[in-house]
Structure 1
Amino acid sequence: MMMKLEKKILNSFNELIGHLSDSEGRNALKGMQRGIEREALRINSSGHLATDGHPKALGSALTHPRITTDYSESLLEFITPVFSDINSLLDDLTYTHAFTVQNLDSQRLWPVSMPCYVGDTAAIPIADYGSSNVGQMKRLYRKGLTYRYGAQMQIISGVHFNFSVSDTLWDKLYNLSDTQVSKSDFISESYLGLIRNYRHMVWVLPYLFGASPALCGSFIKDQKTDIEFEKMGKGTLYLPYATSLRMSDLGYTNKEQEQLDISYDSLEQYLEGMNGAINMPSANFEKIGVKVDGEFRQLNANVLQIENEFYSPIRAKRVALDDEKPSEALARGGIEYIEVRALDVNPYSPVGIEASQIRFLDLFLMYCLLNESPTSDSVQENEISNNLNRVVLEGRRPDLELSRNGESVLLSTWMREMFDELKKLASLLDNEGEHHYSDALDRWQSAVTDPDLTISGQIMKELSSSQVDHGCWVKKLAEEYHDILSRYSLPEEVLLQYQQAASRSLEQQAKIESESTQDFEEYLADYFNDDSVSFETSKVVSSV
């Protein structure tokens, strides 16, 4: 039965590839849209976390559309617009990095996912968004994360990759389908199919791109962990075959969320599950208290304070209108794009990601879209979780086996089969006389044969050969990238655009604060009880 199912999926994929192999189909495939969100800690000259306020020269973290903060005042987040051209996307990301570094007053950006030396966690500054109600709510949400999971988990950095396909491709796929639903519903169903396939195969990303096989021992502190680390140098903890400790139980996990049953079988079920999660009380979080001695500790005591607290390696997204929550946007217009959240910061790139990774992601996500995607039961959900956990902790172990439809399969065998399919897509996406996608595929296929060529493998090889502490190695990289970006010559018109954006964002924050007259407690009550009030009071307000 399994063999028949796999053959059916394979034939379906091949049939679609055949239909898209003419010039019209290839152009439709090439119309992908991409955006990147990259997080990076600010550090001081000693390599420790910078604890000062968000630099004024970068504008307002509340209202700037490109440069904001995430959990901590020290955790910068750079957001690109949407691009169809990869080089333009990376140029834009580089501009943002260069402008930022040139306005940091001797501070550096930490170029890996796991944090620098962590001293007293109480000294980790929570992001400050000003005195407006929306600013206070954003800060309180992060304060709740501190109480729930600890501050050190919130200063882990990552790269988010936003992806959508062209309207032309949707037209072709819709016409090729035998569906009776509307085109809008077909698009949402297809994106959910992509998500289901992605979740089964997400372990591929930490295997190839995982970049956190080691970390500074100060990150662990009093955390309880079953991970049996080995030690290197003065304070580096590592696992010999680990790929992405960022995605292990030490990183972005939430035990409370394990009880949630968020289904990706349909948009309606997904939205119902999300609504249930943000209204599900948590006994553990109730113990923290919502308002204690007159001071708020969290937005509420539910499993999720708000939707953004749902930790998932991929999200369904739609650009929200004013006064609209994420789920309301999805309910209104369906899924518009997906957000990949399983990427470590690449320490071998000054901007945290490079072109061959983006091209691989294009191929991988298109592969997930064009393949049939059966729904999952609880057994398969456990298989998904166990496969991912094995790869993040021991993905480079020789002859590592995973479970596929209940049967053991070598990780290398599974990946080679997938790469054979990706080559068909690469040939369609490469322009005549160019081999960018094929070259990217060759680059990462070599890492299937030799795990030392994965990013985590390169890191461990470098640390082992030099016997230098992880923190010292990263600090040296931070200095190198600081020098590169400090000397980067921004085009005059680009520099002016960034300066004007910073100035406008400060003015916008001041305007929001002057108009924020409602009592904060009433504002919170309205937000959770009245659909007319939104966490995002303006399109330029950054995501939660």
Structure 2
Amino acid sequence: MAKRVEQRLKRLREQGCVDCLRNGRHGIEKESLRVTPKGRIALTPHPGSLGSALTHDYITTDYSEALLEFVTPPFTDVSETLANLQDLHAFTARILAADDELLWATSMPCAIGEDAGIPIARYGSSNAGTMRHIYRHGLAHRYGRAMQVISGVHYNFSLPENFWRLFSDSRDPEVLREQRDTYYFGLIRNFQRSGWLIPFLFGASPAVCKSFLQGRSSHFEAFDEHTLFEPWGTSLRMSDIGYKNKNQAGLGISYNDLKSYTDSLERATRTPDPEYERIGVEVDGEWRQLNSNMLQIENEYYSFIRPKQPTRPGERPVHALRRRGVEYIEVRALDVSAFDPLGVHESQLRFVEAFLIYCLLMDSPPLSEQEEREIDVNQQRVACRGRQPGLHLLRDGDNQRLDSWAREILTDMEGICELLDANHGEQAYSEALRAQKAKLDDPDCTPSARMLAEMRERGEGFFDYAMRLSQAHMQHHLKHPLSAESEQRLCTLAEASLAAQRQREADDEVDFHTYLTRYFTATG
């Protein structure tokens, strides 16, 4: 593997890669629950002062009315991305403070009552808004509501055109697009093979409130009366109680190329599922789900990394990918960092960027069924036992110690970080790599270990720990010097989004049944 990466790096250097990695695009989507001063999920509507969750480009909601999602536009440097994310948080914090609410600081949610008490997001009366709302009802029936309020950080990344022009052996736009798609899918497959490294290094959800399990039994240990945890765990969010959903284990989504990916994903959205058929779709005039297929829509598939192409109005994601190819990669494996007010930090993102380029430069043969099984086993082991001394993972049919495999990856990344540093005129990438090597030398430096150690030292269960940090982060956001220009811009965007939602509702020309039928029968 190292030889192939070095060969491709050498080729880039020989071709004059002076700034071919300099203008990659970086975006963040970060989720945070709105909670009350007592640490309960807020039952209030999405604040009108934030704008419309349906039409606002940067401040919206995910599953729940209380689950805010902050979306940055793509920037050419992660420092700009994080500055924009900070402005979104500061603007929101001022509005929430007026309502005596705050943002929850961790991936795993606050204390949860009955599952049915978690409010599902609403998007108004337009057909598009109604579809979003019903889709979320379907998720509730299929998986329960509690799983849907786990928060994460999604990192969106694309390589610059300069890179592709050097890396490709063609100047024909169609061939170049096909080659770019091929390499992005190769990146995705390698991320699946080695992506367990991300929760090991950055996982920050080793503990959870007992209330999250809603009375279900589990293999977790009791930290205290109200907290369950995995002693060597890194990311329960990424385990089988969270993001890694058992219901989707048999979908057979292929990442071997764009066609097999879109075909398998579309097949899952068109294939009836007997279990979901028993739920019903529209029962006594009430919608329970959009349909009874294996997936209601493509976004229901809970993958750790996705190929993305922005959709146009009424366009399905698989059709957008087929028509225009992969524009960027969405990494969904990052927990919300409890130690950072934004839930993520610059060194972390620079490391992930370098890791993605490493995944791109390695050879990436198609995934076999054996490899897919190994990937699932490895992700679960690292999520629940990643810091266990001597832990072995599966690799090409054999066992390999996590620490030796991780050291191999980090060593292979050195040349990539050096090239990135040369392109950016600083040592930020090499420093980010050194910070992760230190975690291999001492796993107690990982966020998951630090979190449990701090809970023990302070005598705090998960809820009290997360509540304290939520309050501290809220003060950080309130003190952030939001410029008058930024505040006015965000106020204007909020007002414009509310007007756009009203316009959508006024412009609907067909009933919801017709709208839904047209959406699902569209071809592409």
Normalised-by-shorter TM-score class: over 0.9
Picking from 80, 84, 88, the partner of 2:80 is 88
Cα distance between partner residues in 1 of 2:206 and 2:25: 31
2:397 and 2:170 map into 1 onto residues whose CA distance is 32
How far is 1:409 from its partner? 1.1
Q: Distance in 2 between matches of 1:506 and 1:122?
A: 28
1:465 equivalent in structure 2: 457
> Residue in 1 aligned with 2:305?
314
Partners of 2:244 and 2:397 in 1: CA distance = 25
> What code does the residue aligned with 2:440 have?
V
Out of 268, 283, 286, which is 2:274 matched to?
283
Number of matched residues? 521
1:152 aligns with 2:146: yes
C-alpha displacement of 1:460: 1.1
Residue 182 of structure 1 pairs with residue 172 of structure 2: no
Q: 1:54 aligns to what?
A: 46
Partner of residue 212, structure 2: 219
**What is the alpha-carbon distance in structure 1 between the residues aligned to residue 302 and residue 350 of structure 2?**
25
TM-score, normalization by structure 2: 0.97
Match of residue 523 from structure 1: 515
Shift of the alpha carbon at 1:522? 2.2
Kindly indicate whether residue 389 of structure 2 is the aligned counterpart of residue 398 of structure 1. Answer: yes
Contact preservation (8 Å) 1:363, 1:422: yes
User: What are the equivalent positions in structure 2 for 1:245-284 lying under 5 Å apart?
Assistant: 245-284=236-275
Which consecutive unaligned segments of at least 5 residues does structure 1 have? 1-8, 533-544
Q: Which amino acid counterpart does residue 498 of structure 1 have in structure 2? A: L
Could you give the per-residue CA deviations for residues 471-521 of structure 1, whole angstroms, max 9, x where no partner exists?
A: 101111111111111121211111110000000000001111112242222
Deviations 1:514-538 (A, max 9, x none): 1224222222222222349xxxxxx
1:230 equivalent in alignment to 2:224: no
Deviations 1:101-148 (A, max 9, x none): 011122110010000000122111100100111111100000010011
Contact 1:26 1:429 in 2 (8 A): no
The question of whether the paired residues in 2 share the 8 Å contact of 1:232 and 1:467 is answered with no
Aligned positions of 1:122-521 closer than 5 A: 122-175=116-169, 182-225=175-218, 228-431=219-422, 434-521=426-513
Inter-partner Cα distance in structure 2 for 1:258 and 1:180? 37
CA offset at residue 203 of structure 1? Answer: 0.4
- 1:258-285 residue CA offsets vs partner (Å, 9 max, x unmatched): 2222111111111110111101111111
Letter in 1 for 2:221: E
Tell me what 1:75 maps to. 67
Instruction: Look up the SS of the partner of 2:232 in the other structure.
Output: coil
- CA–CA distance in structure 2, aligned partners of residues 166 and 520 of structure 1: 41
- Which residue in the other structure is 2:106 paired with? 112
User: How far apart, in 1, do the equivalents of 2:298 and 2:445 lie?
Assistant: 37
Matched residue SS, 2:433: helix
Identify the range of structure 1 (202-211 vs 517-526) with the bigger mean alpha-carbon deviation. 517-526
- The whole-number CA distance in structure 2 between the counterparts of 1:283 and 1:224 is 26
Change (3 A) 1:69 1:433: closer
CA distance in 2, matches of 1:331, 1:317: 11
Name the CA shift for 1:247/1:506 in 2 (closer, same or farther; >3 Å).
same
Alignment gaps of 5+ in structure 2: none
Residue type of the alignment partner of 1:115: P
Distance 1:263 1:383 in 2: 15
Q: 1:17: which partner in 2? A: 9
User: Identity of paired residues, percent?
Assistant: 43
Matched AA of 1:173? F
Name the SS for the 1:298 alignment partner: coil
Is the CA contact 1:36–1:80 (under 8 Å) kept in the aligned structure 2? yes
Deviations 1:204-240 (A, max 9, x none): 0110111100011100113354xx2111233010010
Structure 2 match to 1:45: 37
SS, match of residue 27 in structure 2: strand
Write the letter of the residue equivalent to 1:191: Y
